[in-house]
């Protein structure tokens, strides 16, 4: 029997001899010969081994593009390796909000799937990269994972296990990723150094459905709709519909349309693409931009009515009702605006519709498109029809239910003696949630809930008074306008009458003159005939 010292001795000698042989091999066997030896060695191992190896590189062959599969595997293994591997690596990826623990180089972990055991190895290889223009070459590192399993499970592993690993890994990646807010670059920047079509910043908007003040039932309906959509991959596939949903948010300024978008993004954990249509040159550019967006995202076009002249035919109809004297000036202004718009962007309504539908049918990723507007009546029906904009949500003025949410958020109170008064006031007065929120917010440490609530009552009362005055003034100016219009009409009719009378007089006069001329001609004819007789 060998004692411990003897075992250590033998092991030590073996390791030393191996290292010695390896050093000689690396140093004295030329590179081209080494690749030959390695090639045949692998072949021989292949004849005797019962195991299959699959390699997943960190970078794709095309160049420096990181492999999505490698990242997905790393994410998948991170859960496994955190529990089992002895040496871990803490990666602080710029796209990840959480620390990703993956196995360190030259580590291995085991995994099991359907009762079959597999092994994953993480390896590192030194490579010589090409020169950087000065004839120099530098060395770099390339990492890769190797999946090893028994030959007899080849079919199952390739068909099911790898798909499972990639899908799980991608889902983990999506859960851990840092969400982004994108904005589109102008096309002149697209091909500048690393610019691309979209620029992004981390998305950290704190709005949630809990902090969003609106009718609770409506809020609940929207949340259910969103959940149904986000879980509807198979359903959409079954009914043959692209996996997308359109929302139209409309309502007066400050009623929470933009806040709602942030709440939706936080609720579903989606990225946000804020599309500025006025910087998009034409329809094809728009299409390219939309095709360059990823899944699990919201594409937002704010103030769609102002972004472009999408409402051409409707404006002229509205103008008919406007006062005649302002008409010319307004028309001129509109034309000027239109010309300015044309200079910046040639995106048309049909271009926008095609891009949206083209995009949806082209990629069946999970995407929500949201349009916001202050004037829903101005929009072309084609733009907001169901199927394109499936859900129309009105964001309205702050009523009592919405106020209660704001009071709870801003002042942490659920009741107050003035609640009854506030309920009555808010039913009668249109105040935006933005105004209510601003009034409720304490402006100093000395201000408590009581002060803020009283201030709100005062503000709403003032608003009510203002609205009353405004309505009176509007009524007055409407009456004045009507009076002016009536007078103008009367004057025009008077003018018309006068003109008619004048024309009739003229006609009469000319008829009389004609008669006179005729009479005198007849007389002279008579004289002439008498003379000849």
- The residues binding Mg ion (CB under 5 A) are 257-258
How many angstroms separate the CA atoms of 210 and 203, rounded? 18
* Binding partner of residue 352 among ligand ATP, Mg ion, none, CB cut-off 5 to 8 Å per kind: none
363 burial type by CB count under 10 A (0-12 exposed, 13-18 middle, 19+ buried) = middle
How many angstroms separate the CA atoms of 371 and 350, rounded? 16
Residue 269's Cα: distance from chain center in Å?
A: 12
Q: Does 212 bind ligand ATP (CB under 6 A)?
A: yes
Q: Does 250 bind ligand ATP (CB under 6 A)?
A: no
Of the candidates 69, 75, 259, 283, which one interacts with ligand ATP according to CB under 6 A?
259
Q: Does 391 bind ligand ATP (CB under 6 A)?
A: no
Minimum CB separation of residue 452 from ligand ATP in Å reads: 15
Binding mask 415-444 for ligand ATP (x = CB under 6 A): ------------------xx--x-------
Q: Does 169 bind ligand ATP (CB under 6 A)?
A: no
Among residues 214 and 426, whose Cβ is nearest to ligand ATP?
Answer: 214
What SS3 class is residue 430?
Answer: coil
Q: Does 396 bind ligand ATP (CB under 6 A)?
A: no
Part of the chain binding ligand ATP (CB under 6 A), chosen from 50-58, 249-257, 340-348, 466-474: 249-257
Q: Does 246 bind ligand ATP (CB under 6 A)?
A: no
Locus of tokens 């203002």: 466
> Would you say 467 and 432 are in contact if contact means Cβ atoms under 8 Å apart?
no
* Binding partner of residue 379 among ligand ATP, Mg ion, none, CB cut-off 5 to 8 Å per kind: none
Of the candidates 81, 102, 255, 429, which one interacts with ligand ATP according to CB under 6 A?
255
Part of the chain binding ligand ATP (CB under 6 A), chosen from 196-204, 211-219, 351-359, 464-472: 211-219
How many angstroms separate the CA atoms of 417 and 527, rounded? 112
**DSSP code of 178?**
P
Minimum CB separation of residue 310 from ligand ATP in Å reads: 17
Query: What would you measure as the largest C-alpha separation in the chain, in angstroms?
Result: 177
CB environment 266-305: b (16+ within 10 A), e (fewer): bbbebbbbbbebeebeebebbbebbeebbebbbbbbbebb
> Would you say 400 and 460 are in contact if contact means Cβ atoms under 8 Å apart?
no
How many angstroms separate the CA atoms of 127 and 110, rounded? 28
* Binding partner of residue 253 among Mg ion, ligand ATP, none, CB cut-off 5 to 8 Å per kind: ligand ATP
The footprint of ligand ATP on residues 95-124 (CB under 6 A) is: none
Q: Locate the DSSP E strands across 92-236.
A: 100-103, 108-113, 116-129, 138-150, 180-184, 198-202
Per DSSP, what are the bridge partners of residue 143?
124
Number of residues that bind ligand ATP (CB under 6 A): 16
Could you tell me where the DSSP H helices lie in 214-292? Answer: 216-230, 233-239, 257-268, 283-291
Part of the chain binding ligand ATP (CB under 6 A), chosen from 31-39, 99-107, 180-188, 253-261: 253-261
Q: Which residue is nearest to ligand ATP (CB)?
A: 256
* Binding partner of residue 212 among ligand ATP, Mg ion, none, CB cut-off 5 to 8 Å per kind: ligand ATP
The footprint of ligand ATP on residues 356-375 (CB under 6 A) is: 374
Q: Does 173 bind ligand ATP (CB under 6 A)?
A: no
Minimum CB separation of residue 186 from ligand ATP in Å reads: 23
Q: Residues interacting with ligand ATP, by CB under 6 A?
A: 211-214, 253-259, 374, 395, 433-434, 437
């Amino acid at each position: 029997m060998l004692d411990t010292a003897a075992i250590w001795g033998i092991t030590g000698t073996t390791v030393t001899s191996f290292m010695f042989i390896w050093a000689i091999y690396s140093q004295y066997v030329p590179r081209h010969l080494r690749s030959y030896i390695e090639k045949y060695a692998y072949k021989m191992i292949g004849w005797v081994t019962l195991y299959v190896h699959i390699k997943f590189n960190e970078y794709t062959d095309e160049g420096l593009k990181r492999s999505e599969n490698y990242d997905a595997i790393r994410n998948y293994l991170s859960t496994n390796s955190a529990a089992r591997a002895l040496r871990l690596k803490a990666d602080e990826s710029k796209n990840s909000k959480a620390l990703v623990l993956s196995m360190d180089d030259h580590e291995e972990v085991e995994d099991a799937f359907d009762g079959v055991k597999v092994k994953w190895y993480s390896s590192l290889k030194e490579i010589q990269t090409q020169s950087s223009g000065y004839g120099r070459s530098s060395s770099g590192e390339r990492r890769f994972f190797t999946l090893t399993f028994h030959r007899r499970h080849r079919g199952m592993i390739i068909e099911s296990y790898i798909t499972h690993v990639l899908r799980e890994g991608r889902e983990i990646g999506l859960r851990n990723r840092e969400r982004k807010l994108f904005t589109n670059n102008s096309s002149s920047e697209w091909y500048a150094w690393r610019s691309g079509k979209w620029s992004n910043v981390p998305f950290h908007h704190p709005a949630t459905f809990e902090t969003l003040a609106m009718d609770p039932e409506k809020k609940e309906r929207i949340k259910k709709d969103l959940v149904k959509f986000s879980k509807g991959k198979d359903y959409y596939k079954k009914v043959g519909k692209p996996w997308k949903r359109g929302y139209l948010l409309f309502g007066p300024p400050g009623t929470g349309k933009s806040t709602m978008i942030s709440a939706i993004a936080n609720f579903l954990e989606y990225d946000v693409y804020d599309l500025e249509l006025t910087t998009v040159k034409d329809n094809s550019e728009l299409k390219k931009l939309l095709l360059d967006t990823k899944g699990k995202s919201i594409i937002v076009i704010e103030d769609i009515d102002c972004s472009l002249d999408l409402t051409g035919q409707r404006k002229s109809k509205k103008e008919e009702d406007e006062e005649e004297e302002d008409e010319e000036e307004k028309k001129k202004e509109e034309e000027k605006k239109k010309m300015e718009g044309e200079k910046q962007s040639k995106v048309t309504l049909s271009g926008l519709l095609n891009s949206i539908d083209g995009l949806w049918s082209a990629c069946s990723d999970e995407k929500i498109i949201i349009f916001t507007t202050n004037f829903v009546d101005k929009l072309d029906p084609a733009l907001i029809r169901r199927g394109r904009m499936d859900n129309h949500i009105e964001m309205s003025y702050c009523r009592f239910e919405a106020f209660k949410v704001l009071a709870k958020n801003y002042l942490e109170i659920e009741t107050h003696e003035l609640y009854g008064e506030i309920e009555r006031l808010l039913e009668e007065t249109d105040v935006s949630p933005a105004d209510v929120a601003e009034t409720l917010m304490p402006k100093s440490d000395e201000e408590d809930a009581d002060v803020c609530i009283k201030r709100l009552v005062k503000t709403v009362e003032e608003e009510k008074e203002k609205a009353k005055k405004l309505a009176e003034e509007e009524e007055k100016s409407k009456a004045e306008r009507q009076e002016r219009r009536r007078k103008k009409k009367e004057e025009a009719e008077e003018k018309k009458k006068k003109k008619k009378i004048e024309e009739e007089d003229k006609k009469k006069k000319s008829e009389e003159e004609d008669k006179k001329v005729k009479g005198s001609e007849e007389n002279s004819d008579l004289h002439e005939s008498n003379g000849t007789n």
